[in-house]
């Protein structure tokens, strides 16, 4: 394996890389979200077209050469260079950090190149390399003299994602363009020979970079469901370790309750016992139990939802998403774990974030369940609503929904249920 340093370059043939490989990022900054993107650039290092920015709102290229997938701790770009159009000479892997956070908060993080399950090249960075930058150019895959090569860039920029789009000659939708075009950072961190000449592609359309954030109980947003799409609805619960000495009490678990409009009885999924299914009832599937979280590497459990779920149930379906910790895990303050939820469907992203003012009971070390959000799904779309409700002190009751017309009521008074391992 090639352990790279900033500015180091290598030919694919020197590392043993072929045209099909995966770029993997493991980037941590506590509970703060770090987004990754891959830009397909031409010979002048300009965005070829708006189809070749691969990121959370556009996870695939139309040619099938690049696709983005996220797991609990990684972001993975599956790449097949043979499918790229000839106009793409550069692929630039970037990272941006949410809100007012900076890359100084970055924990020990890795960028890796994997092929056939084997890591062939690895580049390690951390926040000591940066100051107030909110974006990083991580790695570049480029073609020179018909030979593909890699370049560990490790270069910070002061703007966020919209600034990177502008930097590469793209256009950001007006209500997203809060960042000014970036200046190359003058902080003391590794530099590279990366070129910065800019122009705007004539065919580029404005990018929608917006993520909707819900932080007040009852606030909601609707996602439109694309008919005939094959993408699943992705729901992620994310939390951090609270920094105490216990190894158990930061083990939260994502639980989903499902209630059809025509029913009074709920079903539940949770890992590892009742993971559900995407192709049969309940058309919701848990992707696995995560038992470890830390300040630098948040815990994340993921659930997939079949977008046709309401069709299979014959009407509206309500889902309640909660995180919980068993009493046997020990006392824990939900507030100290800062749980939040991210819902993604195609190019639409919504986050329900933790708000201590809205959930003051979560400060208690004896509150074990926190309801992040409720989703109501029909054939046309999904309405996600922020909750923030908590269980009573010392209670291990389960969140329960009931229908009242086209709306649902939430009570945390259902029978307790536990995972067995």
Q: Residues 7-58: pLDDT tens digits?
A: 999 999 999 999 999 999 998 877 677 889 999 999 999 999 888 999 877 8
- Residue 297, pLDDT > 80, answer no
153 and 247 part of one domain? no
216 and 145 part of one domain? no
- Residue 158, pLDDT > 50, answer yes
Please write down the HEC assignment for all residues of 20-55: EEEEEEECCECECCEEEEEEEECCCCCECCHHHEEE
Mean pLDDT of 236-253: 68
Range from 43-52, 58-67, 90-99, 322-331 carrying the lowest mean pLDDT: 322-331
Cis peptide upstream of residue 272 (ω within 30 degrees of 0): yes
Domain assignment of residue 319, given as a range: 212-414
Domain boundary at 160, 176, 192, which?
176
- The pLDDT score that the predictor gives to residue 186 is 40
- Dihedral-angle region of residue 384 (phi above 0 means left; psi in -120 to 50 means alpha; beta otherwise): beta
Tell me how long the chain is: 421
The mean predicted confidence, pLDDT, of the chain is 83
CATH of the domain at 129: 2.60.60.30
Residue 193 lies in a domain: no
96 and 172 part of one domain? yes
351 and 395 part of one domain? yes
348 and 249 part of one domain? yes
145 and 47 part of one domain? yes
392 and 295 part of one domain? yes
Residue 332 lies in a domain: yes
- The pLDDT score that the predictor gives to residue 97 is 86
Residue 200 lies in a domain: no
134 and 223 part of one domain? no
CB 341 within 8 A of CB 323: no
For residues 25 and 159, which has the higher predicted lDDT (pLDDT)? 25
Domain boundary at 131, 149, 176, which?
176
CB 6 within 8 A of CB 192: yes
CA distances from 178 to 110, 184, 209, 330 (A): 29, 18, 11, 44
Could you report the per-residue pLDDT of 330-378, keeping only the tens digit for each?
666 777 787 888 888 876 788 888 888 878 888 888 888 999 999 999 9
Residue 205 lies in a domain: no
- The pLDDT score that the predictor gives to residue 181 is 41
For residues 205 and 398, which has the higher predicted lDDT (pLDDT)? 398
Confidence grade of residue 228 (pLDDT, cut at 50, 70, 90):
low
Q: How far apart are CA 272 and CA 288, in angstroms?
A: 6
- Residue 240, pLDDT > 80, answer no
Q: Give the CA-trace dihedral at 133, 138, 143, 147, to 10 degrees.
A: 150
272 and 162 part of one domain? no
Could you report the per-residue pLDDT of 163-218, keeping only the tens digit for each?
888 888 877 765 444 444 444 444 444 333 333 333 333 344 555 556 678 888 88
- Residue 322, pLDDT > 70, answer yes
Mean pLDDT of 237-255: 70
Domain boundary at 129, 161, 176, which?
176
Residue 198 lies in a domain: no
Mean pLDDT of 75-93: 95
Our count of domains for the chain comes to 2
Residue 41 lies in a domain: yes
25 and 88 part of one domain? yes
222 and 127 part of one domain? no
Residue 189 lies in a domain: no
- Residue 160, pLDDT > 80, answer no
289 and 361 part of one domain? yes
CB 106 within 8 A of CB 156: no
Residue 273 lies in a domain: yes
For residues 76 and 227, which has the higher predicted lDDT (pLDDT)? 76
CA distances from 183 to 98, 125, 154, 173, 255 (A): 19, 21, 15, 21, 44
- The pLDDT score that the predictor gives to residue 230 is 62
Strands 233-239 and 53-54: unpaired
Mean pLDDT of 63-90: 89
- The pLDDT score that the predictor gives to residue 242 is 58
- The pLDDT score that the predictor gives to residue 355 is 81
């Amino acid at each position: 394996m090639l352990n790279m340093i900033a500015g180091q370059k290598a030919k694919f043939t020197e590392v043993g890389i072929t045209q099909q490989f995966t770029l993997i990022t493991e980037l941590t900054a506590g509970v703060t979200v770090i987004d990754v993107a891959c830009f397909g650039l031409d010979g002048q290092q300009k965005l070829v077209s708006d189809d070749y920015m691969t990121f959370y709102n556009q996870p695939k290229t139309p040619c099938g050469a690049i696709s983005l997938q996220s797991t609990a701790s990684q972001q993975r770009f599956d790449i097949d260079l043979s499918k790229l159009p000839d106009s793409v000479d550069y692929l630039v892997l970037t990272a941006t950090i949410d809100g007012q956070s900076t890359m100084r908060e970055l924990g020990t993080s890795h960028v890796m190149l994997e092929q056939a399950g084997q890591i062939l090249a690895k580049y390690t960075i951390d926040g000591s390399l940066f100051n107030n930058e909110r974006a990083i150019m991580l790695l570049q895959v480029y073609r020179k003299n018909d030979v593909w090569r890699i370049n560990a860039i490790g270069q910070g920029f002061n703007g966020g994602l919209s600034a990177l789009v502008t930097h590469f000659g793209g256009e950001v939708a007006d209500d997203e363009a809060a960042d000014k075009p970036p200046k190359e950072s003058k902080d003391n961190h590794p530099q590279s020979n990366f070129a910065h000449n800019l122009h705007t592609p004539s065919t580029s359309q404005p990018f929608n970079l917006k993520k909707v954030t819900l932080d007040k109980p009852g606030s909601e947003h609707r996602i439109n469901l694309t008919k005939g799409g094959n993408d699943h609805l992705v729901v992620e619960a994310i939390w951090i370790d609270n920094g105490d000495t216990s190894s158990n009490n930061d083990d939260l678990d994502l639980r989903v309750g499902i209630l059809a409009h025509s029913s009074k009885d709920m079903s539940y999924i949770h890992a590892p016992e009742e993971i559900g299914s995407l192709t049969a009832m309940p058309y919701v599937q848990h992707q696995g139990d995560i038992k470890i979280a830390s300040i630098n590497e948040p815990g994340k459990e993921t659930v997939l939802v079949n977008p046709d779920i309401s069709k299979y149930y014959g009407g509206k379906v309500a889902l309640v998403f909660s995180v919980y910790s068993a009493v046997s895990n020990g006392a824990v303050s939900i507030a100290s774990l800062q749980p939040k939820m991210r819902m993604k469907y195609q190019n639409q992203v919504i986050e329900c974030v933790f708000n201590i003012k809205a959930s003051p009971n979560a400060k208690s070390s004896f509150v074990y369940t926190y309801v992040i959000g409720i989703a109501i799904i029909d054939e046309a779309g999904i309405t996600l609503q922020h909750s923030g409700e908590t269980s009573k002190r010392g209670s291990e009751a389960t969140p329960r929904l009931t229908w009242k017309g086209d709306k649902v009521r939430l009570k945390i008074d259902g029978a307790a249920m536990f995972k067995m391992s």
